[in-house]
Amino acid sequence: MWQYEKKLQYPVNIKTPNAAAAKVIVSQLGGPDGELGASLRYLCQRYTMPNDKIVGVLTDIATEELAHVEMVSAIVYQLTKNLSIDEIKRSGFDTYFVDHTTGIYPIAAAGIPFRADYFGVKGDVFADLHEDLAAEQKARVTYDNILRLVDDPDICDPIKFLREREIVHFQRFGEALRIAQDDSDCRNFYGWNPEFDRNRSRRNMTR
């Protein structure tokens, strides 16, 4: 069970609307390396993790990613609040506006709506944790690219916070992978699936 605290994990206070920036940043809501996909990935993967510590890591990070969904949504909302139609047209935000007005919709910067195939669940601790490590690095790169494109300190400040959290998540997934390796047959990490094959003979799985 989660408890919701009615405030953002990190403050978002943008004074100057900027629809062009919003069109880029919304990718971290619904894009291929965005926060929504990350949260769903970890929430789904945790069920087949063979170790309670690893389940805890996935649950903790998945919950935090939901907080990041809220932060990115707040950024996009504040960047598009009270825009005139002329500003929407000039910024190129009209292609988003025509379908969603200024509502918050999970979409990539290229205009592709969120898709479930942005994340994978394999049911194997090693496959899933390696995907998680890569996902956090890709999210960090996306935030790096956003910071290259925007220069408003009010935008950059929360984006830098989100980027830093991706690095922390990467480190925690690395720790989870080491726990999984320590719990497995060190001679053959990848010869069996510790969740699916827990009641089977390891000898048969490694032939």
pTM: 0.89
Collapse the DSSP code of 107 into the 3-class scheme (helix H, G, I; strand E, B; otherwise coil) and give the result.
Answer: strand
Strand partners, 107: 113
CATH of residue 175's domain is 1.20.1260.10
Q: To which residue do tokens 């919701």 refer?
A: 4
Count how many domains the chain has.
Answer: 1
C-alpha distances in angstroms, 160 versus 26, 108, 147, 189? 15, 20, 8, 36
* Contact call for residues 136 and 35 (beta carbons, < 8 A): no
Strand partners, 113: 107
Collapse the DSSP code of 188 into the 3-class scheme (helix H, G, I; strand E, B; otherwise coil) and give the result.
Answer: coil
Model pLDDT, residue 201: 46
Q: What is the pLDDT along the chain (207 residues), one digit of tens a residue?
A: 578 888 999 999 999 999 999 999 999 999 999 999 999 999 999 999 989 999 999 999 999 999 999 999 999 999 999 999 999 999 999 999 999 999 999 999 999 999 999 999 999 999 999 999 999 999 999 999 999 999 999 999 999 999 999 999 999 999 999 999 888 766 555 656 666 666 554 444 443
Model pLDDT, residue 183: 84
Tell me if 14 is assigned to some domain: no
Model pLDDT, residue 62: 97
Tell me if 141 is assigned to some domain: yes
Residues contacting 34, CB < 8 A, separation 6+: 27, 28, 72, 106, 108, 114, 118, 139, 142
Tell me if 7 is assigned to some domain: no
Q: To which residue do tokens 């922390």 refer?
A: 168
